Amino acid sequence: MRKLVIDLGHGGYDPGAVGKGGTKESDVVLKIGKYLESMLKEVDLDVRFTRMSDKYVSLGDRVEFANNFGADYFLSIHINSASDSSVRGVEVWKYNNDDKHLNEFCSSLCNEISGIFNIRNRGVKLSKGLYVLKNTSMKAALLEVDFISNNFWSTPSSFTYSCNFSSSIASFLNPSPIRSSIKSVNSWLQCINHLLNVIPFVLLLNFSGYIS
């Protein structure tokens, strides 16, 4: 069974970015993580989280956890921030371009999130300085879901957004019997919407196909 570590950024005395109304990045990604935990019980992946409470976990401990677990994949979830409150958009960071499947996964992730939520696709970016990407020994990506500095994240709809994002990941990873008969992204979306009635679905791509 493949192993996936989902890293929920910040926590404890490190709130990460703080939006208008005091919305904290650490709280939003933790909410996403808790939904994911409950939804990913039956997936054919051994899924672990770097934190599941509002506690501080150092970058070194996050990396050590993933490496010691022997994870095949590492996905770190964050929310960006900017001085301009009108800025929105999704971006994914990786360490290099060496892995074709990871490249395709990151690109598709940006495309789908930006398209469904009608936010800017800020693209896939490289960083040699992001500690969790540099020091993990498996295929790793860091997702910046959106900008918490945007006014959107100070409204009640942001709760629905985070829940839908969680549902998207869970459904995307869930090896449903129907999944084997799906021939296209569009038909996959239709089946998921019909079965689970959770909209929108963000990660409309085959996780095991892109990250193999």
Task: Look at residue 112 in the predicted model and tell me its pLDDT.
Answer: 75
User: DSSP secondary-structure letter at 136?
Assistant: -
Query: Of the candidates 197, 124, 129, 113, which has an alpha carbon nearest to the alpha carbon of residue 162?
Result: 113
What rounded mean pLDDT belongs to the chain?
77
Least confident of 4-13, 29-38, 110-119, 176-185: 176-185
Task: Look at residue 105 in the predicted model and tell me its pLDDT.
Answer: 82
> Does pTM surpass 0.75?
yes
* Catalytic member of 25, 91, 112, 144: 144
Question: What is the distance between the alpha carbons of residues 50 and 71, in angstroms, rounded to a whole number?
Answer: 12
Q: What percent of the chain has pLDDT over 90?
A: 44
Task: Look at residue 161 in the predicted model and tell me its pLDDT.
Answer: 58
Instruction: Give yes or no for a contact between 189 and 116, defined as CB atoms under 8 angstroms apart.
Output: no
Task: Look at residue 115 in the predicted model and tell me its pLDDT.
Answer: 76
| Chain segment 167-205, per-residue pLDDT in tens | 555 554 554 432 333 233 333 333 323 322 322 233 333
Question: What is the distance between the alpha carbons of residues 195 and 190, in angstroms, rounded to a whole number?
Answer: 9
The CA radius of gyration of the chain, in Å to the nearest whole number, is 16
Question: What is the distance between the alpha carbons of residues 47 and 113, in angstroms, rounded to a whole number?
Answer: 22
Half-sphere exposure of 187 (CA within 13 A, CB side): 7
Question: What is the distance between the alpha carbons of residues 38 and 65, in angstroms, rounded to a whole number?
Answer: 21
Q: Does 91 qualify as catalytic in the annotation?
A: no
End-to-end CA gap in the chain: 12
